[in-house]
Chain A
Amino acid sequence: MNPQELLYAETHEWVAVAEEGGAKVATVGISDFAVEALTDLVYIQFSKSGGDSVSAGDAFGEVESVKAVSDLYSPVTGEVVAVHDKLADKLETLGDDPFGEGWMLKVKIADESSLGKLMDYDAYKKMCAEQ
């Protein structure tokens, strides 16, 4: 995934939207900036699984580093269609390929209005620089 073409939440999740079987499906992960800020990762755990409904701003899991535990928030509203459970066994993927193999969640979007609140790449970079 090209990071410049993604949408971003204030809480550092990225979203890629694609058409799948007539529905819009969002793939969600966390940015390279977030992975870097978390430092050494220890655990990842997902609280949502396929079939669950999720609203924009809901926690769908948490990631733990040697420094802290951070919630993962869904940037979109809809139905969870896939969770990347295998990530837990290969956390290094998050560092190696955060925008690709490091994806975490796929959501069939039910309400597109939540997409409007997300930032484009330039706005997100600007926010990171200010942090």
Chain B
Amino acid sequence: MRNTLATKLLFELSQPGRRAGLMPACDVPERPAEELLPGECVAVKPPPLPELAEPDVVRHYANLSQQNMSVDTHTYPLGSCTMKYNPKRNERFAALPGMANVHPYQPDESLQGMLQLLYEMQEILAEIGGLDAVSLQPAAGAQGELTALLVAAAYYRDTHQESRRKVLIPDSAHGTNPASAAMAGFDTVTVKSTPKGYVDMDDFRSKLDETVAVFMITNPNTLGMFDREIKRIADEVHEAGGMIYLDGANMNAILGVTRPGDFGADMMHYNPHKTFSGPHGGGGPGAGPIAVRAKLEPYLPSPVVEKTPSGYRLAYDRPKSIGRVRSFFGNTGVLVRAYSYICTHGPDGLKRVAENAVLNANYLLSRVKHIFPVPQGDRCMHEFVASAGQLKADKGISAMDIGKRLLDHGFHAPTVYFPPIVKEAMMVEPTETESKASLDALTATLFRITEEDAEFLHDAPHTTSTSRPDEVAAARTPVLSWKPE
């Protein structure tokens, strides 16, 4: 039984004078605030905050949380997002007072535990990536991309190679790649993919010249394929004087199996919330640490954590640094959880994570391909992209209809309509934390949906609190804040 009253906005639920607690009578003489504070410090009226009792607030959030889907409640095969289960052990570790209650303005000497953890995290991420130096500052994967490209731009300026203006990006890339390159001041050039989803080598070579600064590649790519030409691509880019950026969104597939630095990457970012099981969603707080080759280290954001004979310190004396990209030291809470995850698994455990992520995806692919064609073939890495194109042509049932209907059946939707190079794309990533039973249940549900009435599916979901939001209106005339009527 859904309590829709409680899920109104807190401002709508507000009643003047309602409180969560009653204060005892004041036992010292009271004086008005105006007598104690300078005039300009006293507000004319109280801030317009909602006034509510504790049960109002608890019911509000408890009922809202039940309208949500999460990895704690549902299988969540949202491709590219690596919605693996987030072990509660990480939360217990992050909640330790030494982790949760430190303040960034404390002197370094009193923060040694946190600084040691961050220092070790720099070392660990360099090792996993096969690269030399790390900045933990960026607050999300996309900010990591931007930071790394700013680092590349600083390097080219410093070495008098300003004519390197072009960033090559395959057409299967995440949209953040061209956005980051453009924000860092580069010109973006799209490289085509072959029908199998790999970089089209002829198109790549036709666009490679001495003006190329960076080739940004996601490997494994968004189609769930590992580009076997990666070494050749990297060698040719290096020969032309450019660098390789690896979008690390799909690191879950190759942890401990291969390292970006070993196959030619010069820079990369991690998504700790994906690969290392930090919580997703809500817009953050996230983290997007980057790893780079030694020649780029001087340009990394300041500060970095240094180990000295007298302990760990934040090093600011870095004259070539691009400066800060985030206040304080980034979102350390996510990094603490990632550290916990990495240390819990150890090197062998991380390799098994990747192996099981790939095994699960291939098992699901082998079942799903009998329902939906998978244009890129019979084998994948951590995810695959199925197409509802034929079903759309035959019965009018779209990838959107299937995704929406899955919600009724208790599964989160896969990522739909991405990458755009596959028609009616459904990008499925089960992750290593789903059991065979849940993968079988997902397959059976997908099959059942294809047998359902098309009109019924166009109106799905039928059991959620909101069915189909008006996406056009949301994009054209978004309402971003509540205003009193």
- Chain A residues packing against B (C-beta within 8 Å): 37, 39-43, 64, 66-70, 131
Q: A66-B471, A68-B417 are in contact. Are A42 and B476 (CB under 8 A)?
A: yes
Residue in chain B with minimal CB distance to A67: B417
Give 13 A-B contacts (CB < 8 Å), ordered by A residue: A37-B423, A39-B417, A40-B471, A42-B475, A43-B475, A66-B475, A67-B417, A67-B418, A68-B175, A68-B417, A68-B420, A70-B420, A131-B423
Answer whether residue B44 sits at the interface, using C-beta atoms and an 8 A cutoff: no
Q: Which B residues are in CB contact (< 8 Å) with A64?
A: 475
Nearest Cβ on chain B to A13's Cβ, whole angstroms: 17
B472 close to A (CB within 8 Å) = yes
Identify the B interface with A (CB < 8 A). Answer: 175, 417-418, 420, 423, 471-472, 475-476
Bound state CA distance, A93 and B438, in angstroms? 45
Chain A nearest CB from B401 CB (Å) reads: 12
Q: Complex: how many Å from CA A69 to CA B476?
A: 14
Q: Please give me the residue from chain A that is nearest to B471 by CB atom.
A: A66
Q: Which A residues are CB-close (under 8 A) to B417?
A: 39, 67-68
Minimum Cβ distance to chain B for residue A125 (Å): 14
Residues of B near A68 (CB, < 8 A) are: 175, 417-418, 420
- Closest A residue to B195 using CB positions: A130
CB-CB under 8 A from B471, the residues of chain A are 40, 66
Q: Return the chain A residue nearest B392 by Cβ.
A: A36
Contacts of B175 in A (CB 8 A): 68-69
Compute how far the CA of A56 lies from the CA of B418 in the bound complex, rounded to whole angstroms.
28
| Chain B residue at minimum C-beta to C-beta distance from A131 | B423
Q: Which of A41, A43, A67, A70 has the most CB of B within 10 A?
A: A67
Contacting residues, chain A, for B472 (C-beta < 8 A): 40-42, 66
Nearest to A70 among chain B residues (CB) is B420
Q: Give the Cβ gap from B474 to chain A, nearest Cβ, in Å.
A: 8
User: Could you tell me the distance between the alpha carbons of A37 and B420 in the complex, rounded to whole angstroms?
Assistant: 10
B423/A43 in contact, CB under 8 A: no
Contacts of A69 in B (CB 8 A): 175
Residues in B with CB closer than 8 Å to A131 are 423
Select from chain A the residue with minimum beta-carbon distance to B416.
Answer: A67
In the complex, the answer to whether A43 meets B476 with C-beta atoms within 8 Å is: yes
Whole-angstrom distance between the Cβ of A32 and the nearest chain B Cβ = 15
Q: Which residues of A contact B475 (CB under 8 A)?
A: 42-43, 64, 66
Complex formed: what's the CA distance from A131 to B420 in Å?
11
A39-B417, A42-B472, A64-B475 given. 12 additional CB < 8 A pairs? A40-B471, A40-B472, A42-B475, A42-B476, A66-B471, A66-B472, A67-B417, A67-B418, A67-B420, A68-B417, A70-B420, A131-B423
6 residue pairs, one from A and one from B, having the closest CB atoms: A66-B471, A42-B475, A67-B417, A40-B472, A68-B420, A42-B476
A70–B190 Cα distance when bound, in Å, is: 12
A95 shortest CB reach to chain B, Å: 12
What CA separation (Å) do A67 and B423 show in the bound complex?
A: 12
Whole-angstrom CA separation of A40 from B472 in the bound complex = 7
List the A side residues contacting B423 at CB < 8 Å: 37, 131
